[in-house]
Structure 1
């Protein structure tokens, strides 16, 4: 006997003219678009990195420029902060989009928008209302898992090196949202730069081997089939899906091998930098080699780049580490012939304020949340390097050219992986929703800004 909610789930798709057959057909067609990239590496500056102190300096504005100087890049007439010399030398590989903009200055919902490409459903204004929720949109890799599952049944996204959690708050967009846990990413919870780094959750318990695990799986499947005959419900299916995902990850060597950073030489590890940023991006390269579609690399703990206080002292450590790590990743991918099929993006949920000021009650000034104008940097995956797309006003506050949004970035990621960003997916009640409402950022590939 069906519950009322299940009847609604079954009926809504047909009511809206998009039945199960149509949705399955769309999933089958998800790979029909020619892909530009096999993998996307999102270098995520959680907390919001300062665009002015990295890729869009304003040396002529005394009130904005801050403590850092500028440096010429490989693009004539284009300058970066002097804290980013490696990226400046490799600017011929980069498309620097200086006209990113959206309207959300809050960390949690801004992160949701950036990582999913969709605005977070409104549930209230408190931080708790914006915490991780199954009613949210899926992370991009989770949507890829749903639309184009891997043949080896592994998740289509790995998040490194830690989840985004602060106290009781868990940042949204870190799972598959309304698509369900079957499509959740694998989230690492270990620092690859630590001496005791170990990939937890991907090892069999002592005394177990794959044969014994397979036997236990067969028994569980027999029990599950009996349970489903007595109660066909989303809860039973959810449990079965979670079991299947866990079994796949435990018995597959691909993911565990890719995350084994000890397989790399000291020379390579030193090249990336012996810090969390560097070793995280080295793991990203290893995941690219096994064609993991989406690799989210959180640069530090949650809100690491939220520099309201001690802004410049903190960036004097953080920026050189980021510069070294991203530069090494680009070089390594290029030397291995992987950059052309790997889209690399460096961005935060927003930028930082042009003006430098202290928070109330604080003496040391910093820069604060600023979604009205900021920078995203793209490389590889067919992107035309050596170009700056868009520009901000004289203080770096707002774009004076056509702006791009996180929705546009999301559409670009989906399209780069060969997935139509405008197709329909079902929400929790089976209602059809557009996967993404943005537009592909065509200037990345054409060099022409319309």
Structure 2
């Protein structure tokens, strides 16, 4: 954040007219000062504290929004694309043969396999079948997802430059491999605001998982605001106890007393803001107010007692266990119903360097039925048509085995050159399989899609031009997609 720039903007808004300048000429000068101070890139205008209270500002629009809200089902650790969505039957005949150098072509490897003397090909041990009008090949590990292939668009040609987890997940979530940038949800919260003032615009859940227990850590920078005002950070729900820390009043403190305390605190913070001009003081005031509103809104949101048995059954047996992926998906639907702008669920444990046969089925079982149920639930309630759903991880996995190989089991290393995701709802073409990879699921052969392209498309479906949503920091206008990103027009209706 640039405090001087923000203070100049707040000074323009708050004090200019109050100092006796009420003529038309002065008003015109104030407008010029504000426009100059707020200039972004090109004809775009970078806003002050918030761009919007629910509607897309005109200067951010390029296309009519198809989505009002979005949910990102993030499979942290990188699912094996060739064991789930990218069927490679020719690999059966190449079991334990070395990956040809002509395929790898000297491409970068992680330190975990760069020292291997061999790169033995490990065909998927799981069966695949074709489903839907598109004839999409889906693994036996995802039977519920297979039932909805006509509702989703599978993209098999995603790619990234990052080859290790932390920079890769930071990259896809914030647009840069180095920490410090705002997350996708924070950009959306900043650019679009909220349609419900009683719940945060951006909410996050990190459910339990049943696969590999030595999972990669998740850091709150993945849903943090970076250099944006901190009020645009995602609010993470806890798995147990109060859904948000300190949601309940301490013993002896009534709601009325809490309200009086916040009112006095807001007055003191406002005096500090007027004197010093630190925009984070505004963020603090807004966060205190949101916390107070959440004391009444959150208990209702997380209470699923009113859900019908048929809905609970659709999400699966884990839905009533707090902190599970199934429970998180149901809560996500309830959030979306309440106009939460962006929901992100991080499901860990997809880092199968070994024991794919043991860990991957557990991971898929965690997410398969609840993900299917979420899409169908949204569809039945008429919400899918303006809700964007994204499912995927940070990169893919290698076709060769890391370490020992047998027909019963194998491991897979990181592979940024290609991976698979799926999307649904809000103007995404249903029943489409987009992009292709070679016989080894190693290199992209058709329609490459970079993670910047994905983020640009997500923003567009929500009505935002990714080149215009900018924020000035350290003398530069930053955006989620940096200086990259192309809309994936082929997958849009």
TM-score range, shorter chain: 0.7 to 0.9
Q: CA RMSD in A?
A: 3.1
CA distance in 2: counterparts of 1:349 and 1:151, whole angstroms: 30
Please name the residue that 1:186 is paired with.
235
Please name the residue that 2:222 is paired with.
173
Alpha-carbon contact 2:328-2:345 (below 8 Å) kept: yes
CA distance in 2: counterparts of 1:428 and 1:138, whole angstroms: 11
Q: TM-score scaled to structure 1, two decimals? A: 0.83
- Whether 1:142 and 2:171 are equivalent positions in the alignment is no
Q: For residues 196-249 of structure 1, what are the alpha-carbon distances to aligned partners after superposition, in whole Å with 9 as ceiling and x for unaligned? A: 664233333344444322211111122223333443335544543443443343
Q: For residues 165-197 of structure 1, what are the alpha-carbon distances to aligned partners after superposition, in whole Å with 9 as ceiling and x for unaligned? A: 98987363221111031111110121xxxxx66
Please name the residue that 2:492 is paired with.
445
Please name the residue that 1:115 is paired with.
173
CA distance in 2: counterparts of 1:171 and 1:330, whole angstroms: 27
The offset of 1:262, in angstroms, is 3.7
Distance change in 2, residues 1:78/1:8 (3 Å): closer
Distance change in 2, residues 1:24/1:317 (3 Å): closer
Alpha-carbon contact 1:59-1:69 (below 8 Å) kept: no
CA distance in 1: counterparts of 2:135 and 2:218, whole angstroms: 44
Distance change in 2, residues 1:333/1:234 (3 Å): closer
Distance change in 2, residues 1:169/1:186 (3 Å): closer
Please name the residue that 1:260 is paired with.
303
The offset of 1:95, in angstroms, is 0.8
Candidates 340, 348, 351, aligned match of 1:292 = 340
Alpha-carbon contact 1:341-1:380 (below 8 Å) kept: yes
Alpha-carbon contact 1:102-1:372 (below 8 Å) kept: yes
CA distance in 2: counterparts of 1:236 and 1:10, whole angstroms: 11
Please name the residue that 1:42 is paired with.
72
Please name the residue that 2:46 is paired with.
23
Please name the residue that 2:90 is paired with.
60
Distance change in 2, residues 1:321/1:226 (3 Å): closer
Distance change in 2, residues 1:35/1:359 (3 Å): farther
CA distance in 1: counterparts of 2:447 and 2:182, whole angstroms: 27
Distance change in 2, residues 1:366/1:391 (3 Å): same
The offset of 1:379, in angstroms, is 0.9
Candidates 191, 205, 226, aligned match of 2:250 = 205
Alpha-carbon contact 1:145-1:183 (below 8 Å) kept: yes
Distance change in 2, residues 1:419/1:76 (3 Å): closer
When the two structures are aligned, how many residues end up with a matched partner? 414
Alpha-carbon contact 1:47-1:306 (below 8 Å) kept: yes
CA distance in 2: counterparts of 1:248 and 1:67, whole angstroms: 51
Q: TM-score scaled to structure 2, two decimals? A: 0.76
Distance change in 2, residues 1:333/1:242 (3 Å): closer
- Whether 1:214 and 2:259 are equivalent positions in the alignment is yes
Where structure 2 has 5 or more consecutive residues not aligned to the other structure, the ranges are: 10-31, 40-44, 93-120, 319-323
Please name the residue that 1:420 is paired with.
465
Alpha-carbon contact 2:356-2:410 (below 8 Å) kept: yes
Deviates more, 1:420-429 or 1:105-114: 420-429
The offset of 1:407, in angstroms, is 0.9
Alpha-carbon contact 2:77-2:216 (below 8 Å) kept: no
Candidates 45, 55, 78, aligned match of 2:136 = 78
